[in-house]
Structure 1
């Protein structure tokens, strides 16, 4: 029983209190093994859920980087007045569109 072997039993053939105690010990032992098995299954489920969460966050992070980088570059070019980005009226609506796309991604 110390090694949590599934076939372990307290073998007492008497019908007195010791026999009843052995039966109770055997029942408790089986209950303990079942609880341990259930906890191991739950632990596996939690581990899988954590892995899926990490994968999701990595994917979401990657998907958000492109529009954020694009928005940042556009705004920086507008601030610096570089080339075609001097035309705020054209590029501010584009920046708003990118922020709306980002909002849709996180909803």
Structure 2
């Protein structure tokens, strides 16, 4: 599957919502939270290392930190989307500087 680089609308009418869609990739050790941006899906990724550093996540239950700190993670993702800080695959990667 090929994802294109997503650009927000130039008019500033960007609508960003966060449905309760999230998952954990045990192989890459990255949590993903979905965002809907003007009715298009953007995957917002946050690595276990950052979840552990900022929120005390455990390797056994990393998604508990995502659930507990959902609003902080969503706000970081929102800022990355609004500044069009997309990865090559169209996702956003939340880093230490974002939280």
From the two aligned structures, give the one with the greater helix fraction: 1
From the two aligned structures, give the one with the greater strand fraction: 2
User: Same fold judged by TM-score > 0.5?
Assistant: no
Query: Which TM bucket (shorter chain)?
Result: under 0.3
TM-score normalised by length of structure 1: 0.19
